Chain A
């Protein structure tokens, strides 16, 4: 059964989109990630224009992070104060990101930059995760339990404008928090991701936020950054496809519920190794698209913008 996507301006098989949404939702539930970094490349593989894939991906992440954030809010594992400061940086970053996005689109380099960013990020994160999980698997086989090294980042703690975050039990400068929020905001606009896969490790390792509040707090800020990005993308690039987003989010939230259940039964290291392989595979596929000789070296777009 095909359905016409009004903004992407093409007809797609609704079951392919439902399947994509459910599969990514399942994975995001299983691994506790937002899934935006998988949805956007998958949509691009399915010939959805990257402009639409990115904007619609951000919209889909709103839905997937809301249900997660509500759960964390009920459990009390969400630091609102920290979340709002991250958000201030996030909104500024998203605004700058949209500006970059529109500029790249005018220059005709948007598709290239999106693919390149995905190749770099997916390759980097995937490799790190793979190495880390393989080491962990080895260690559990050997029966050695190594305590996680508490790395020191004294320069971060020497920065001014310190603030006390009661829930996270930390006393920290707002500068690194705003900077992290800003960086994630840019990525949300340009790549259509929530950015949890970068924010969570950054909060744990750089800001020393306790692990139990990290996921809830990052989800909380992701809701607002992606919501803001969706509205601004709609207003500047007219590229949010509400039909596509709705199919993805419905399938996604249902898939996530089953993912969570499966995830609880599986071993953490093996799960992370699997996710790492998947992330690397998606990155490699995007890389191939960049280096393989295209069928037609010419492309056509309505509107001006030649330079």
Chain B
């Protein structure tokens, strides 16, 4: 009952072989070039078995596998695990409004609200280790945009107020998103299959939004940002339910008329079937 139209295992294997062949010549090249000459020349290559996921109505979430290779890896650093890879899947962006209820005359009423502009509707992250770091291990951070749920830019629209409530609303936003399964971190979701080849598993939640998502893979050496690669992933919902949703949004008047017609036929049909007078 897996609803994602994932290609077969055979395809995954093909992807792996393709990446292996990609990694192999570079390994050769490395053996020819003196290793000391090109330090910091390592590159990241990634690939997916599909650039589009079709989600059928009984979809209940799945894993997306992304393969990649660290090309020109420094063997010494690699052998002591100094390379880290973070792979994230960022959903399409939209505005989001957080509201807070307060008690007014005994009744709970939405009192305050804050709209965050153009935030990713979903965010899944997978990494070789915890990105926050720990004593003795530096955090993984990319320049500019940052990595991880805590770095998602939550910019309030036309907001005026104290910084306290801004923090509160941001925390509430992240908490609600995590609770709904749309934002999820998975430290340990990336593992090296060989010294340079890695596989990242990203969990796609059941309620994953439609649209173009962005796969972003980032390479770190000794906790320092080296480079990143991005790939688009289209998520397309299929089936009767999606046809209905599309109709409701693209042809709303016709859709409304169809709903009424259905009701008229049902009501009329019943009066014919159960006619007693």
- Where the two chains meet, the residues of A that have a C-beta atom closer than 8 Å to any C-beta of B are 4, 6-7, 9, 59-60, 62-67, 70-71, 74-75, 108-109, 112, 116, 227, 230-236, 238, 240, 242-243, 245-246, 249-250, 253-254, 256-257, 290-294, 296-307
Contacts and interface: CB of A to CB of B under 8 A. Distances in A.
A66 B99 contact: no
Given A253-B267, A299-B110, A71 B277 contact: yes
Given A240-B255, A294-B101, A304-B115, A66 B94 contact: no
A249 B263 contact: yes
B99 A235 contact: no
Nearest to A258: B274
B152 interface: no
B173 A300 contact: yes
Contacts of B157: 304, 306
B77 interface: no
Contacts of A300: 96-99, 172-173, 176-177, 180
7 contacts: A109-B110, A230-B260, A231-B253, A242-B262, A246-B266, A303-B97, A304-B95
Nearest to A73: B271
Contacts of A303: 94-97
A306 B114 contact: yes
A233 B253 CA distance: 9
B249 A108 contact: no
B168 to A, nearest CB: 8
Contact of A6 (B97, B102, B245): B245
B213 to A, nearest CB: 16
Interface in B176-231: 176-177, 180, 207
B107 interface: yes
Contacts of A249: 262-263, 266-267
Closest 3 CB pairs of A and B: A66-B267, A234-B256, A253-B270
A230 B259 CA distance: 8
B258 interface: yes
B108 A294 contact: yes
A116 B257 CA distance: 30
Interface residues on B, range: 35 or more
Nearest to A291: B106
A6 B246 CA distance: 10
Nearest to B101: A297
B17 interface: no
A67 B89 CA distance: 51
Contacts of A236: 252
A108 B108 CA distance: 13
B137 interface: no
Contact of B99 (A253, A256, A301): A301
B26 interface: no
B109 interface: yes
B27 interface: no
A112 B245 CA distance: 26
B150 interface: no
B266 to A, nearest CB: 4
A109 B100 contact: no
B266 A63 contact: yes
Contacts of A70: 267-268, 271
A118 to B, nearest CB: 13
Contact of A64 (B156, B252, B267, B269): B267
Contact of A306 (B94, B97, B106, B277): B97
Interface in B61-91: none
B57 interface: yes
A306 B270 contact: no
B165 to A, nearest CB: 11
A219 to B, nearest CB: 10
Nearest to A67: B271
